Amino acid sequence: MRFLITGAAGFLGAPLANSLISDGHSVVGLDDLSTGDPDRLSPEVHLVRGDINDRPKLWTLLQGVDCVYHLAARVIVPESVLYPREYNLVNVGGTVTLMEAMRDVGVKRVVFISSGSIYGNQKNQPMKETFRPQPRSPYAVSKLAAEFYIRTIGELWKIETVVLRVFNAYGPEQRLPPAHAPVIPYCIKQALDNGTIVIHGDGKQTRDYVYVDDVADAMVRASMTNDINRLIMNVGSGEETSVNEIAKIVMEISEQKPEIVHNQHHDSGPARMCADISLAHAKLGYQPKISLKEGLLKTMLQDKRFNRNRSS
């Protein structure tokens, strides 16, 4: 099969592309490289630098494509609070542009990578796909809006659509920006530097952390499985883990004792998040293989940034 992956050089896009290549498929990637790294990709991936809203470029790249994976997006939640218009332009507008180009060229299947953040605060855990979304940020709103556009347009234009709501993915080479760094790479870096791990509030807030290779497996299955048109499925580990637990495991596997500091709590997201993955298991045969401790160890050992820290 021939695939187009938008956001192909990103944290999730690259392992997906490499997995498809290793299975013998043809992969074209589109990425503006604002955050993506082309060095992550197999040389067999035909990567094109470009914008998701560039319709002529999309028309060219979609020629002969059997299925599209749509991952291109802006993804930093606090940034979306400052720049909601930009998030709408890329995450929503780019999705509509892609769907229009697919219609024009005649591509009939798309797998959209959404986010568990669309659920927001929920009284009950784990979160099922039937729960009413309660997005708490412009980023989450943009992902939810894109879901509605994809499924509505898909039904009107006879394009098969699959939506995967990915929870907190982690693994080697995850971006570590100076501000708003993801919990896992931040904790590992601080531990290896024997620095200070700052935890917001009491650290009891939970997330569903899922290793990047397990996410890639779910994405591959979503394009290869029949009779799943218009389905929305959660992709996570099915377990919730607190920030305090993450810090504890990181200290254990790094054999370091960084200082733990709790700062004043700020409203940074839901108190609890855990994915019900039973639908993905039933429909895709999806079953996470990497435990949290194993995944954290893989992340620490395989990420070149952390290895440099250890040897210095």
CA distance 209 to 285: 19
Q: Are 300 and 188 in contact (CB under 8 A)?
A: yes
Return the C-alpha torsion angle 37, 38, 42, 46, nearest 10. 140
Smallest CA-to-CA distance from 180 within 295, 305, 61, 76 is with 76
Smallest CA-to-CA distance from 136 within 119, 122, 149 is with 119
CA distance 214 to 197: 27
Catalytic residue among 139, 170, 186, 211: 139
Residue where the block lists tokens 């929870």? 167
Per the rule left: phi > 0, alpha: psi between -120 and 50, beta: everything else, 64 is left
Beta strand 2-6 pairing with 209-211: unpaired
- Give alpha helix (H) positions in the chain: 13-22, 55-61, 77-82, 84-87, 94-105, 138-157, 183-192, 212-224, 243-254, 278-284, 292-302, 304-311
CA distance 178 to 186: 10
139 is catalytic: yes
Tokens encoding 66: 């059997």
Q: Are 296 and 188 in contact (CB under 8 A)?
A: yes
* Three-state secondary structure call for residue 41: coil
On the 0-12 / 13-18 / 19+ scale of CB atoms within 10 A, 38 is middle
Active centre residues (catalytic) = 139
